[in-house]
Structure 1
């Protein structure tokens, strides 16, 4: 693996990797876009069709279940069959079902399609971060953190679209299923049709603008040395660069054990999980990173998925509470979130903060702001504090998305990242259930969110590895 890493560093940053940054970034954007798309639609769909269960918010729950299934399928399969298939097909499957979702005639049918398109998106940022990091030279490893700006871009796009559609094509805030007619409530449908079209364009761009190959680090883990050299040669020749790696040097290092068996052989499948706990320190690292992902899984839906409810209810207290004001404030929140990944990309490369310090700072600032959000008194405070929370939390999210693949072994990276996302979605399901049974029109869920971010500060600081300036393996 060290020889492959050195060869990538010799070639340096090329047009191929820059294309990957943008095209893999689309996957990040789609993941957040679709999570937010269903959360934006949720209040309007409830108004039109009613809520089948008085306690459980079925649409966010369907989304989390779909994301859970998608993370398992895309994440675990990527270490077995490689990263190429998911890169080429995941966005296309999302696009089709997002478009279909806009035409659903009932709450349950809409929730079912949400689960399906969420499954398509569920492994996006697992594979996208993995794809990018396995082609990047060490000098540009910060791009994996900065790629989280695409996550914020997805939020921003849906935030602005919601301001346009939901503010102008939604039933009145006090409407009920008896008074909310389809013709008056087209906003959530327009949102899905538009987002589905955007995702389709992104899916076509992935196929049209790059010829994706299996990553060199995955190929080396499969003992496919000749393909490793061929892939690196193709990149270097197109860029007018060179590298010193030869097939003979690779083969002189020996072979990877058990690769003579089928990729589906029980022993090889078991090794992908066992490889995450091979040493005591690696086992501790894996356990703590899984804990981080579980907690952010709980806190994310408690805040972001129910944010429209918070803004509406707080607006009713300190503002006019109108549909226009709610979605204007929502759009401002998402635009503010763009700042977080930019700050994170700067802090992670400083010696004082590094990856772990940046995680802790993002979680700490978010915790303080969320406690502050429970005490707002004016419309300006409502917008300003909630926007600051979006920016601060994205410092944490942007860093954890990059740090996770950096500290996972290459041969088992997608499995490890997939496992992280699975526990994240389990936490998300619990978060939706807490939000469903709690009163999201009160400050109680916000206190829970703030406490969970306090826990993330501790979990960030006890991570054993600091990956700043080091080559991921």
Structure 2
């Protein structure tokens, strides 16, 4: 692995890796775009069709279940069959269902389609971050954190589309299922049709603009040394810098144990999980990163999925409950989130802060702002503080998305990341249930979110490894 890492560093940054920054970034954008699309649609769908269950918000719950299934499928399979197949198929598998979801005639049928397209998108960014990191030279490892900008772009695009569609093609705020008709409530449908078309375009771009290859590190873990050299030669052909690694040098290091057995053998499947806890320090690191992801999962639906309801209720409190103002503010919130990954990309490379410090700073600022948000009184305060929360929380999110693959071992990286996201979705399901039984038009969910972000400060500082300036293995 050290020999392969040195070869990648010798080659440096090429056009191939810059293309991956955009094409892998599409996966980040799609994940956030679709998560926000259903949360934006949720109040309008509920207004038109009513809520089948008086307690459980079915659409966010369906999304979390779908995302959990998708994370398990994409994450756990990528260490077995490789990164390339999942990279090329993950977006296609959900694009068509997003479009179909916009035509659903009822609450339950729409929720079912949300679960299906969420399964297609779920775990997609696992492969995007994992495959991109495994192609990057050490000097450009910060780009994995910066790639979270695409996550914020997905939020922003959906927020702007919501401003256009939801403010102009939605039922009046006081409409009921008896008075809210399909013709008056086309905004959430237009949103899904447009988002589906964007996902389809990005899926086509990922298979036409670049020929994805298996990552050298994954090939090495499979004892496919000749293919490792072939891929490195292909990348170096796009660079003025050449590597000096030979097949004989790799073969002289011996063989990877158990690769003579089937990739589906019970021994090799178990090793992908056992390898995450192989030493005491690695086991503690894995446990702490899993805890971080679980807590994030609870925070996200509480704050994100129910924010439209909260903004609506606060708008009424300060004298403006129009669809236009509600969705204008929502779009501005998401656009403000673009600042977070930019700040994170700078902080993670700072000598006395690094990855762990950036995680703690992002969580601390978000905690303070969310406690402050419970005290807003005016429209300006509402908009300003919520926009600041979007930026601050993205400092944390952008860093955790990059730090996770950096500290997981290459041979088991997708499995470990998949396990993180599965726990994240379980936390998300719990978050939806908490929010469903709480009054989402009060400040109660925000106090819960602020407390959970406070817990993330502690969990961030308990992480044992600082990956700044170090080569991921």
| 1:170 alignment partner in structure 2 | 170
| 1:92 alignment partner in structure 2 | 92
Q: What TM-score does the superposition give when structure 1 sets the normalisation length?
A: 1.00
| 1:416 alignment partner in structure 2 | 416
Alpha-carbon distance, 1:222 to partner? 0.1
Q: Report 1:10-159 matches (<5 A).
A: 10-159=10-159
Q: How big is each residue's C-alpha offset from its partner over 1:278-297, in whole Å with a ceiling of 9 and x where there is no partner?
A: 00000000000000000000
Q: Secondary structure at the match of 2:90?
A: helix
Q: Does 1:470 align with 2:467?
A: no
Aligned mates of 1:70, 1:395 — CA distance in 2: 25
Aligned mates of 2:336, 2:160 — CA distance in 1: 12
Aligned mates of 1:262, 1:12 — CA distance in 2: 34
| 1:320 alignment partner in structure 2 | 320
Aligned mates of 2:42, 2:222 — CA distance in 1: 44
Aligned mates of 2:160, 2:68 — CA distance in 1: 27
Q: Does 1:4 align with 2:4?
A: yes
Aligned mates of 2:80, 2:388 — CA distance in 1: 41
| 2:458 alignment partner in structure 1 | 458
Aligned mates of 1:387, 1:428 — CA distance in 2: 22
Q: CA RMSD in A?
A: 0.5
Aligned mates of 1:413, 1:81 — CA distance in 2: 13
Aligned mates of 1:253, 1:326 — CA distance in 2: 62
| 1:282 alignment partner in structure 2 | 282
| 1:376 alignment partner in structure 2 | 376
Q: Secondary structure at the match of 1:390?
A: helix
Contact 1:319 1:378 in 2 (8 A): no
Alpha-carbon distance, 1:241 to partner? 2.8
Q: Secondary structure at the match of 2:214?
A: coil
Alpha-carbon distance, 1:94 to partner? 1.2
Q: How big is each residue's C-alpha offset from its partner over 1:229-258, in whole Å with a ceiling of 9 and x where there is no partner?
A: 000001111334310100000000000000
Q: How big is each residue's C-alpha offset from its partner over 1:411-450, in whole Å with a ceiling of 9 and x where there is no partner?
A: 0000000000000000000000111110010001100000
Q: How big is each residue's C-alpha offset from its partner over 1:357-389, in whole Å with a ceiling of 9 and x where there is no partner?
A: 000000000000000000001100000000000
| 1:389 alignment partner in structure 2 | 389
Aligned mates of 1:304, 1:150 — CA distance in 2: 17
Aligned mates of 1:87, 1:222 — CA distance in 2: 19
Aligned mates of 1:457, 1:430 — CA distance in 2: 21
Aligned mates of 1:188, 1:56 — CA distance in 2: 21
Aligned mates of 2:171, 2:245 — CA distance in 1: 64
- 5+ residue gaps, structure 2: none
Contact 1:359 1:395 in 2 (8 A): yes
| 2:188 alignment partner in structure 1 | 188
Q: Secondary structure at the match of 2:91?
A: helix
Aligned mates of 1:471, 1:350 — CA distance in 2: 16
Q: Report 1:193-208 matches (<5 A).
A: 193-208=193-208
| 1:247 alignment partner in structure 2 | 247
Q: Secondary structure at the match of 1:179?
A: coil
Q: Secondary structure at the match of 1:53?
A: coil
Q: How big is each residue's C-alpha offset from its partner over 1:200-231, in whole Å with a ceiling of 9 and x where there is no partner?
A: 00000000100000000000000000000000
Alpha-carbon distance, 1:322 to partner? 1.0
| 1:332 alignment partner in structure 2 | 332
Q: How big is each residue's C-alpha offset from its partner over 1:171-226, in whole Å with a ceiling of 9 and x where there is no partner?
A: 01111110000000000000000000000000000001000000000000000000
| 1:366 alignment partner in structure 2 | 366
| 2:344 alignment partner in structure 1 | 344
Q: Secondary structure at the match of 1:375?
A: coil
Q: How big is each residue's C-alpha offset from its partner over 1:123-167, in whole Å with a ceiling of 9 and x where there is no partner?
A: 111110001000000000000000000000000000000000000
Alpha-carbon distance, 1:106 to partner? 0.6
Aligned mates of 2:361, 2:86 — CA distance in 1: 33
- 5+ residue gaps, structure 1: none
Q: Which runs of at least 4 in structure 1 moved beyond 2 Å after TM superposition?
A: 238-241
Q: Secondary structure at the match of 1:182?
A: coil
Aligned mates of 2:240, 2:212 — CA distance in 1: 19
Q: What TM-score does the superposition give when structure 2 sets the normalisation length?
A: 1.00
Alpha-carbon distance, 1:262 to partner? 0.2
| 1:218 alignment partner in structure 2 | 218
| 1:300 alignment partner in structure 2 | 300
Q: Secondary structure at the match of 2:448?
A: helix
| 2:310 alignment partner in structure 1 | 310
Aligned mates of 1:140, 1:187 — CA distance in 2: 41
Alpha-carbon distance, 1:319 to partner? 3.7
Aligned mates of 2:238, 2:394 — CA distance in 1: 36
